[in-house]
Amino acid sequence: MNYLALSKQILGMVVLPVYLLVVPMSAFAQEGDPVAGEKVFRQCASCHRVGEGAKNATGPVLNGVVGRPTASFEGYKYSDSLTSAGENGLVWSPEAIFAWLANPRDFIRAYTGDPEARTKMSFKLDDEQQRRDVIAYLGTLSTQEAAADGSSMSHGDTPFDEAMATGNADHLADMERVRQELVLPPNVPKHDQVAKGGPKIVEIELIVEEKSWVLDGDGTTIVALTYNGSIPAPMLIVHQDDVVELTLKNPESNLMEHNIDLHAATGALGGAGITTIAPGEESTIRFKATKTGTFLYHCAPEGSMTPYHVTHGMTGAITVLPRDGIKDENGKLLTYDKMYYVGENDFYVPRDENDDFKTYEDAGEDLGDWIEVMKTLLPSHVVFNGRVGALTGENAMMSQVGETVMFVHVTANRDSRPHLIGGHLDYAWETGSFISPPMRDLETMLVRGGSAGAAMYTFLQPGVYAYLNHNLIEAVELGAAGHVVVTGEWDDELMQQVYIGPLK
């Protein structure tokens, strides 16, 4: 058997590396088991839908994929590389799928002859029998089971119609427009603590960036998924009754679909149901900020892709201030001199056979490995602002004696216990709700997973304060700690050292 000739017949006339495309007949000597393949396919279901009524998600519908020309399912936006492969005659034969699943990136680069070719699929299935089983399972799926329209629509039955797309904007025509200039955490945009004038349309732009990201001083590196290139994503600040006009952009250089779920928004899954965009697309939504407080926002594709994106850095916070300012339980206005923003993220970096952290080249390449680690609920890193030490040393938060600082702390998955060693929380809104009276004089507050809390403190002594998650294991061993450096004069009345030395 001339296996190279067979490969060319199967995969087109481009000669491909033997290691990748020569599929010996022995590889198919043992038939795949569709029942076992259905179980293996659960790893693929994060991106691909199958069965009756299936629609495109992160990846195209796979009903009838065996024997289908590449990049041909209606309504799905394929990568340029796969589109080119389809135009050149690539068909998803069992042999082609077998080679593809082994390493999609190498496959498409070899087929196109382009060493820079990319595909949205980075997931690899190393086990040959599992590949055979998946192919057998896919072979049982009829083309007719797919939805009539193959349109890309995340979250299934989220309502969407033309009125939603155009909006009833007549009432917005006379509203003042302002554009919010976003800044990198832990800093926050310039804002008025008490609103000036009537409600406004606040224009905000977030750009998705998939990028290499170092988590710690040992050089542990992941391909992070970010809004505007930072972890956490930038703080957004508006006032109650403002209309947020948010544009989300997903550059063509990215590989994955993205969207945004804003816990401050009402309807359409916080916007996630109507903002899912492929690389090269953008989406604009408007929502009215009806509730005051601090809120989480994050990326929320379907299924396992939601925690996958969240644990790769796609979280942020939006603060909706009362129009007349934040007040205490007696209605007294509370103001702050500065605001700092702390994002707490948990990461689940896979390890290799030597127990070293693995590295990956493209977004999504770690999908299967990462999901398996996520399922253990044992993070490899729990950090503030994206990496161990992000808020220490030269990056520490700064203040001075007499200043009042508002801290906003957001966590997407795990409960956190923010604590300021050497200080207190004069006022705290654990749930982030400013309509609720603040708690007073706390040592530690609880910020629940999936939310953002806020606390205010006036510094009375100079020095270095540790701001940390008072799950001390996560703070000391996994990285959830930062510093506040405070300058000013020491007050002996509050504390003084009376004696230190040998036992008397």
Please list the active-site residues: 258, 261, 263, 298-299, 309, 314, 419, 443-444, 470
Number of H helices, E strands in the chain: 11, 19
DSSP states of 298-323? E---STTHHHHHHTTT-EEEEEEE-T
Tell me the C-alpha distance between 227 and 205, whole Å.
10
Residue recorded with tokens 């729990």: 382
Backbone angles phi, psi at 323, to 5 degrees: -65, -30
Structure tokens at 58: 């992160």
- Give yes or no for a contact between 266 and 212, defined as CB atoms under 8 angstroms apart: no
Give the C-alpha separation, 53 to 439, whole Å.
50
Q: Is the peptide bond preceding residue 186 cis, with omega within 30 degrees of 0?
A: yes
Element (H, E) at 372: helix 367-374
- 134 is written with which tokens? 């998946």
Tokens of 363: 């977004």
- Here the tokens at position 154 are 């995340």
Phi, psi of 67 (to 5 degrees): 90, 0
- CB atoms inside a 10 Å sphere around CB 466: 16
**CA 62/CA 73 separation, integer angstroms:** 9
